[in-house]
A and B are shown apart, each in its own frame.
Chain A
Amino acid sequence: MAKQWIAVLLMAGAMWNAEAVDFNCSGRLPDMAGVRCDTLVGDLVTKRFKEKYPASTYQIVLMADSAYYDDGSMSGYVLAGLAPQAGDQYPDDPMVIQFREPQALKGQALFNREKALIRSAVNDLMRELGVVAMASKKK
């Protein structure tokens, strides 16, 4: 009886894991400490992407950084691309968005700016890879 329960628990665990890891994502995001990739862009990763680029083989790589200048302005970039799941690799043909601000953004304002641009880059990536969500049928 105990063995049966263990088997059931193992199966449940396997199913839970299979549900949790439906895409991989890693990031180098110095201005976004502690942010989780899946919460950052998870809602933008389409089902078609997950089917075409399985989590066992691929990952989405996100990068972002920014710098301040003496005149009070700033600039930065965000990058989103597809790379092999193994290792800390750079993506081959990423979506890169650069930005500048006449007044330096810091803290939450910078976080929000980079977040918006990263999400935009991931949307572009889905389009570039041809895995955008299918339009729903009109009733």
Chain B
Amino acid sequence: MIRMKTSILAVVLALASGFTSATDYHCSRHYGDNMPCAQLIGDLVPSGFGLRFPPDRFEIVLIAGTGSYNDGGATGFAMAGVAPRGRNMLPATVHTEFFQLPAPASDTTMSEAEQDYLRRAVVLSLKRLGYITHAGNLLLDDFVYSTETHWVPQKKCEWVSHDMGFNNVAGPVLSYSEECN
């Protein structure tokens, strides 16, 4: 009997360690600068994320860009979402953050803004999926302008967009359809 209990305990422990090791995540960055994902958003991804979105099948996708103007100001955008891994897929649901920087905007301030807004986009994206860390909650305390867009292909080149608007408060549901070539 003791041996059986030991075996059951061993199986439970093995399963638990298996689940624990699955609490990783994969992340890919596109455009923008190249700070490693783990360094950028590691504190925003809770340990349970990898259980539902195994890193061998899903990835957190980050897309960002900044541009500067002749008057010294700058503007940029940052997107985050979750997509199947390894297919270069655009996430079906994307959180997009926009920002403007007054002059003088340097490469450093633009890069910092990009990182900051990517983090905000990640927090909102993960929050929608039911995951939030303490660091994420602190970020949400700030006012954030965000658009949340669901892209649901109905047929080829037809989709539905649901723009969440300010502070993730639901806005109008917009439908778009397009007959493709």
Contacts and interface: CB of A to CB of B under 8 A. Distances in A.
Given A90-B63, A98-B66, A26 B73 contact: no
Contacts of A83: 88
Contacts of B179: 36
Contact of B181 (A24, A29, A65, A77): A24
Given A37-B181, A88-B89, A89-B87, A98 B67 contact: yes
Contacts of A97: 67
Interface residues of B, number: 37
A20 B181 contact: yes
B180 A26 contact: yes
B64 to A, nearest CB: 10
Contacts of A76: 77, 98
Interface string A74-110: 0111010001100111101010111110000000000
Nearest to B156: A26
Interface in B124-181: 145, 147, 149, 151, 153, 157, 159, 161, 163, 174, 176-181
Interface of B: 30-31, 61, 63, 65-67, 69, 73, 75-77, 87-90, 92, 96, 98-100, 145, 147, 149, 151, 153, 157, 159, 161, 163, 174, 176-181
